[in-house]
Amino acid sequence: MRRITATLLAACLLLAGAAPGCSKSYDENAKDCATALTERTGGKAGDKPTVRDAEERVDAFDDTLADMVDSGYEAAAKDAYDTAENKTRKGGKSRPEACEPLSKDDYTLLLMAKAIDGLGWTGEGGEFDKLKMAESLGD
């Protein structure tokens, strides 16, 4: 009986000790994914957006493109879109293991957000910077 109790206790302790290492939050998984995408996208190593941060960055980029089209700058908007799409495509050839816990949509958001950073189109706080985008497209 002692042997069974000791075995069960040891198994419970092993499982309890392993659990914290396996239970990362979704935001932690997103930051790990962003880190894995850094080399592929050329972004800053310190740029580790959460899914919400990535969504805000990509939405700001989309809004800027829509504003450009509305203002008659379709060619510039297309150039910006094509540049970001090419950077995203190059970075996303295969999904890094660190990105596996994320949904397809969230992975795509992070990939696009990291591509925008890799293009140098983000400010100090990681937000999309349309002036940086415009300056780089003028080069």
Sign for the pseudo-dihedral over CA of 34, 111, 126, 116: positive
d(CA 105, CA 87): 17
Residue 114 pLDDT level (bands cut at 50, 70, 90) = very high
pLDDT at residue 12 greater than cutoff 80: no
Residue 22 pLDDT level (bands cut at 50, 70, 90) = low
Shortest CA distance to 48 belongs to which of 61, 60, 59, 32? 32
